[in-house]
Amino acid sequence: MAHQLALEVYKITDKYPKKEIYGLTNQLRRASYSIPMNLAEGGARDSEREFAQFVNVSIGSCEEVRYQLLLSKDLGYVEEKEYFEMETEYETVKKMLASLYRKLNKKKLKQ
């Protein structure tokens, strides 16, 4: 799901003004692909503790994307309908990541 959302961000930001190429476009794209990239890297680590750290970073990136989408909407770069759809999907991803993070931390406490 995070990968699909990163693809959606790329489609949305293709329509942004050229003046944003090194600003909001770049930041939004980087934050969006940071979510699945950190999950992939963390999943390849040797311990669940390390994986939990990467999941936590993904949660932070998810919040970055949510704010950047809000800013994009308020600047008129994203239509309200599109914003609310994306925001809802990112909220779902955040909840999934938070659940995974709690699960990993519970296992860590039991060890």
Domain CATH code at residue 21: 1.20.1440.60
- What residues make up the domain containing 17? 2-110
CB 61 within 8 A of CB 90: no
100, amino acid identity: L
pLDDT digits (tens, 9 = 90+) for 48-64: 889 999 999 999 999 99
Q: How confident is the model at residue 108 (pLDDT cuts 50, 70, 90)?
A: low
Tokens of 12: 């949305």
**What does the pLDDT read at residue 105?**
86
CB 104 within 8 A of CB 43: no
Mean residue pLDDT of the chain comes to: 94
CB 84 within 8 A of CB 52: no
Tokens of 68: 């950047």
CB 94 within 8 A of CB 63: yes
Count of the separate structural domains present in the chain: 1
CB 31 within 8 A of CB 68: yes
